[in-house]
Amino acid sequence: METINNTDFNFPGQKEVYKGKVREVYNIEDELLVMIASDRLSAFDVIMPKQIPFKGQILNQIASYMLNATKDIVPNWLLACPDPNVAVGYLAKPFKVEMVIRGYLSGHAWREYRDGKRMLCGVAMPDGMKENDKFPEPIITPSTKADNGLHDEDISREDIISKGIVNEEDYLILEDYTRKLFQRGTEIADQRDLLLVDTKYEFGKTKTGEIVLIDEIHTPDSSRYFYKDGYQERQDRGESQKQLSKEFVRQWLIENGFQGLEGQKIPEMTEEKILEISNRYIELYENITGEDFVKADTKNILDRIEKNVSDYLRAGA
């Protein structure tokens, strides 16, 4: 079974390539972006040595599903998906902030709260909450990239505006879009008997000055979901919540002595473990979208992608 690790294409009109942790983005004539979702697996800011079959297809198709399900309320960058692993859309200049929104006290917010903090990114968190309790209203806790590009850093709305990272007029639009997207994501999750716990959105500005949603949304790599059934009972008993995210990968790594720290060795991923992770990602796809996952043909996968994208671009997008 073939997987996608690295790509090295030369598409019609290609100008440059950006390689992220799990995606490779091709700039076409400074007009379009071709975003290829690889099968690489990243955890604790480390790329694992082995790829996960169908992971790229799953993330690409969840993202396109969610972008299409929200385009009536927030404009986005996506034009088409000419291949199961590929999204093509408008080039936009990204804002240098990630709009994180939290409906529940989980993850980073909980760790800050547990340590006694009651303010996160300039937003007050109520006293008397337990881990995974629902906030009275969702809170927006933005982050900005550190200079080295490796880790996100918390930042308040006031600092974003005062430091000129985003002007006030644009930032208010980002906040409005973030709340609308989270509300729609929450409604979609509810239809699947899920709770959208927290997520992040990224935005950019097109050449015409329009603010659009970019990158992926509501995927298990960018969002946290709980199963709705039994949520309150687990909270009342002080039990952990059943999560639908790639948290299972992080937990397996932690159990095997790896958290991305210096000197730690990545545990061996057997073929059985790789298949298990692949099947869990398929389960995520089907739970989040409510659709059956159809595996793409992985034979000569790179040739397939190159042909599908080139044909799309030559047809005039």
Pick from 186, 220, 244: which residue ends a domain? 244
Q: What are phi and psi of 301, to 5 degrees?
A: -60, -40
User: Measured between alpha carbons, how far is 70 from 24 in angstroms, rounded to an integer?
Assistant: 24
1 lies in a domain? no
Instruction: Classify residue 248 as exposed, middle or buried by CB count within 10 Å of its CB (0-12, 13-18, 19+).
Output: middle
Sort residue 169 into left (φ over 0), alpha (ψ -120 to 50) or beta: alpha
Which long-range contacts link 149-154 to residues 24+ away (Cβ below 8 Å)?
150/45, 151/45, 152/98, 154/120, 154/121
The distance from CA 166 to its chain's CA centroid, rounded to whole angstroms, is: 22
Shared domain for 150 and 49, answered yes or no, is no
Q: What is the CA radius of gyration of the chain?
A: 20
Which range (1-5, 110-114, 143-147, 247-251) has the least confidence?
143-147
Q: Which domain holds residue 263?
A: 14-93+259-281+288-314
Q: What is the pLDDT of residues 60-100, one digit of tens each?
A: 999 999 999 999 999 999 999 999 999 999 999 999 999 99
Total tally of structural domains belonging to the chain: 2
pLDDT tier for residue 146 given thresholds of 50, 70 and 90:
low
* 7 in any annotated domain: no
Nearest to 198 by CA among 301, 294, 291, 105: 105
3 inside domain: no
Q: Is 250 part of any domain?
A: no
150 within 8 A of 104, measured Cβ to Cβ: no
106 and 235 belong to one structural domain: yes
Measured distance between the N- and C-terminal CA atoms of the chain, rounded to whole angstroms = 31
Average pLDDT, the chain: 93
Looking at the fold, whether 265 and 131 belong to one and the same domain comes out as: no
Do 69 and 171 fall within a single domain?
no
Q: Assess whether 137 and 230 both reside in one domain.
A: yes
Distance CA 93, CA 85 (A): 23
Concatenating the DSSP letter of every residue in 198-222 gives EEEEEEEE-TTS-EEEES--S-TTT
pTM of the model: 0.90
* Pair (146, 238) in one structural domain: yes
Does residue 221 surpass a pLDDT of 70?
yes
Query: 132 and 61, same structural domain?
Result: no
The answer to whether residue 183 is domain-embedded is: yes
Give the pLDDT confidence score for residue 20 in this predicted structure. Answer: 87
The DSSP output letter for 192 is T
Q: Do 142 and 72 fall within a single domain?
A: no
Average the pLDDT over 136-152 and give the result.
78
Contact criterion met (CB below 8 Å) for 235 and 226: no
* Residue 18 φ/ψ, nearest 5 degrees: -115, 130
CATH of the domain at 66: 3.30.200.20
Please tell me whether residues 76 and 61 are part of one structural domain.
yes
